[in-house]
Amino acid sequence: MSNLPKPPKHLLAALMCGNLLEYFDFFIFAHFSFLLAPKFYPSISPVHDAVISGLFFAIGFLARPLGGYIFGRMADIKGRRKSLMFSVLGMAIPTLCIGLLPTYPEVGIVAPIALIACRIIQGMCMGGEFTNGGILLIESYGWKRAGTVAGLYNSSAGMGSLLAIACVAIATRPGMPDWSWRVPFIIAAVLGVIAFYLRSFVKESQVFKTENAIHSAQDFKLLSPQHRRFIYRAFCVGAVAGVFIWIPLSYTSFYMTKVLSIPLHIAAKMTVLAVIAHNIFTAIFGWLSDKVGLQRTMFAACITQLICIYPAFILLHEHHFALFQLIMVLPAALAYSVVHPLSSLNVPVLIRGRVSGFAFSAGLSIFAGLTPLITGTLTQLMGGSATGVMIYVATTGLLGGTLLIWLLKETPAPQNKKANLRLVA
């Protein structure tokens, strides 16, 4: 936007690096969950272990709305920069604790309780990290480049996941000592401290400073009637994007290893393929969204999912895993490329952190956080069939897209006018 000051140099790179390292901290557990479940809970069967690991993972996601609200409120009152620094430091501490925790055979029930506590803190910090970083970028670069910067920022999360996968691959190689799983968590904590250092160079959003000098964030109540549409919209955005992304990143591996009995290292390759493709497509679709529109990009995600869901799952059933991953990544990347702009679109500046932090995180948590558990249970109940999962994903796309059409129909596109700068910049 011409009315916005030039963004601070290297702002996008600094936030992307911090986001990469924080997602590495968070997802190192996700990629180790299959190994950690029997260490922190009595093992009964492979499917049981998969459900337990999904539950441990879901706990971190379900804590995100609370953290999103706490850090979002901090961002609305104290500033985006301070919130981002606290969230990344808060992520490093429980990550280190997980790497040092005793296992179930050593301390019994204390082990899973301590693990759950660490996951809750991680989830809370992630709830503040993801949304406030996107908000700071949009406020700094303006709406004409909102899709581009948000797409690049989101792609850095996938890079953190790739780094976590690489660490898992090394730590689980044959011949590695039994305690090798602890090393990546300790490394992740160190990288979190580095991310905290990088955040110290990030400057506050000028849009926030201008608005904060005029009004108080205390004057903007999250649950006020005039903010309900913003809350509903952010929730739907999080729900749709969350379900779409966790099919290629989580369900494919579960189906291959637990249903088809395919070796884990082959399933891991498919996960890596999905993450790489998602990173690339998210950045591209973010750039395209600035050309075609944010709403159209999200609607394209839902339509693509509905069109591709049946043939994609046929490919999965016939063991064409790479094609399945590439097809399922398309709607996920389309949705994720615009989650930050759509969650913040026309939301007043001094409540933006709470709306995105709480409502978007709630949609993401309930749907994405529970998707591994839901899809695993559906597959088990249907005797290994993926039909229930296919219906679940298609229903999410249909209902989510329909609701977003209603929630966005009265939302005008951001205007590059000085009169609207404080509201939408």
Lowest mean pLDDT among 8-17, 387-396, 398-407: 8-17
Lowest mean pLDDT among 87-96, 257-266, 333-342: 257-266
Residue ranges of domains in the chain: 11-424
What is the share, in percent, of the chain residues with pLDDT greater than 70?
Answer: 89
| pLDDT over threshold 70, residue 218 | no
Residue found by looking up tokens 């011409």 in the block: 2
The CA distance from 287 to 226, in Å, is 31
The tokens describing 75, both together, are: 């961002």
User: Are the C-beta atoms of residues 302 and 397 closer than 8 Å to each other?
Assistant: yes
The residue with greater pLDDT, 300 or 224, is 300
The CA distance from 246 to 239, in Å, is 11
User: Are the C-beta atoms of residues 369 and 62 closer than 8 Å to each other?
Assistant: yes
The mean pLDDT of the chain is: 84
Name the pLDDT band for 421 (thresholds 50, 70, 90).
Answer: very low
User: Are the C-beta atoms of residues 274 and 162 closer than 8 Å to each other?
Assistant: no
User: Are the C-beta atoms of residues 372 and 205 closer than 8 Å to each other?
Assistant: no
**CATH T-level topology, domain 11-424:** Growth Hormone; Chain: A; (1.20.1250)
108 contact partners, CB below 8 Å, separation of at least 6: none
Dihedral over alpha carbons 63, 67, 69, 72 (to 10 degrees): -150
Q: How many residues does the chain have?
A: 425
Query: DSSP of 76-102, one letter per residue?
Result: HHT-HHHHHHHHHHHHHHHHHHHHH--
Q: How far is CA 367 from CA 58, 61, 82, 361, 410, in A?
A: 10, 9, 29, 10, 26
With CA atoms as reference, report the closest residue to 389 among 238, 236, 258, 243: 243
Mean pLDDT computed over 34-39: 72
| pLDDT over threshold 70, residue 344 | yes
The tokens describing 270, both together, are: 């498919």
User: Are the C-beta atoms of residues 335 and 351 closer than 8 Å to each other?
Assistant: no
What pLDDT, on the 0 to 100 scale, is given for residue 243? 92
Burial of 149: CB neighbours in 10 Å, binned 0-12, 13-18, 19+? buried
- Cα 145 to chain centroid, rounded: 21
What pLDDT, on the 0 to 100 scale, is given for residue 219? 62
Name the pLDDT band for 17 (thresholds 50, 70, 90).
Answer: confident
| pLDDT over threshold 90, residue 325 | yes
- Cα 84 to chain centroid, rounded: 15
User: Are the C-beta atoms of residues 237 and 131 closer than 8 Å to each other?
Assistant: no
| pLDDT over threshold 60, residue 425 | no
Rounded to the nearest 10 degrees, what angle do helices 371-381 and 46-62 cross at?
Answer: 150
With CA atoms as reference, report the closest residue to 363 among 151, 124, 61: 61
What pLDDT, on the 0 to 100 scale, is given for residue 416? 41
What pLDDT, on the 0 to 100 scale, is given for residue 119? 87
Mean pLDDT computed over 366-374: 79
Mean pLDDT computed over 381-394: 87
Alpha helices, DSSP H only, in 249-337?
252-254, 264-292, 294-317, 321-336
| pLDDT over threshold 60, residue 418 | no
| pLDDT over threshold 80, residue 414 | no
What is the share, in percent, of the chain residues with pLDDT greater than 90?
Answer: 32
What pLDDT, on the 0 to 100 scale, is given for residue 46? 63
User: Are the C-beta atoms of residues 399 and 105 closer than 8 Å to each other?
Assistant: no
pTM of the model: 0.85
109-156 pLDDT, tens digit per residue, is: 898 889 889 989 988 988 888 889 999 999 989 889 999 999 999 998
One-letter identity of residue 409: K
Mean pLDDT computed over 240-248: 91
Name the pLDDT band for 220 (thresholds 50, 70, 90).
Answer: low
